[in-house]
């Protein structure tokens, strides 16, 4: 379950630095609606760094659009270099059914790859009915969904590590 206030979910700083310093995380960003997705990526990476993930352990990749995210996620998963992937994108509804197709197939593809390869892939592809809502969710503030994506990745990795024993 995701919380509305990203700061309330942040890992404890002392614990986070110790536990996350070995995590290797890649972001995959859709280039379409670039101003929005760049803002998501910026806040996501800032959050990972602030939590203690070293810069050298974070890689960022870009694909033309959200529909292409799953194929790169699969390729990165097969490399076995990353502990988690974070999918970032923005799909804004237009006048056709294309919006639903892109978002649904992106989500399905990401989930398929994640489950098939037992690798966490955080889905933070914004699906909004207008640009104003997308811009609000990718603003230069603490409610940027890139922050939430990073926090979710770190939280899930910690839980999965604990579940391994």
Helices (H), the chain: 13-20, 34-51, 69-79, 98-117, 131-137, 145-164
Q: Minimal CA–CA distance to 126: which of 116, 117, 134, 114?
A: 134
CB distance 126 to 91 below 8 Å: yes
Per annotation, catalytic residue among 2, 34, 75, 98:
98
Edge-to-edge, what's the strand order for the sheet holding 121-128? 58-63, 25-30, 84-92, 121-128
Q: Active site includes 98?
A: yes
So which residues are the catalytic ones?
Answer: 98
């Amino acid at each position: 379950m995701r919380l509305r206030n990203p700061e309330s979910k942040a890992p404890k700083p002392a614990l986070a630095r110790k536990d996350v310093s070995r995590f290797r995380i890649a972001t995959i960003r859709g280039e379409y609606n670039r101003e929005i997705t760049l803002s998501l990526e910026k806040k996501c990476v800032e959050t990972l760094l602030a939590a203690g993930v070293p810069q050298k352990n974070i890689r960022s990749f870009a694909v033309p659009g959200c529909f292409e995210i799953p194929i790169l996620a699969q390729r990165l998963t097969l490399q076995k270099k990353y502990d988690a992937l974070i999918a970032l994108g923005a799909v804004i509804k237009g006048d056709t059914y294309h919006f639903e197709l892109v978002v649904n197939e992106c989500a399905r593809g990401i989930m398929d790859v994640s489950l098939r390869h037992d690798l966490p892939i955080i889905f933070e592809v914004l699906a909004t009915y207008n640009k104003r809502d997308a811009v609000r969710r990718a603003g230069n503030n603490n409610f940027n969904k890139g922050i939430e994506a990073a926090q979710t990745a770190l939280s899930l990795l910690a839980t999965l590590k604990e579940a391994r024993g």
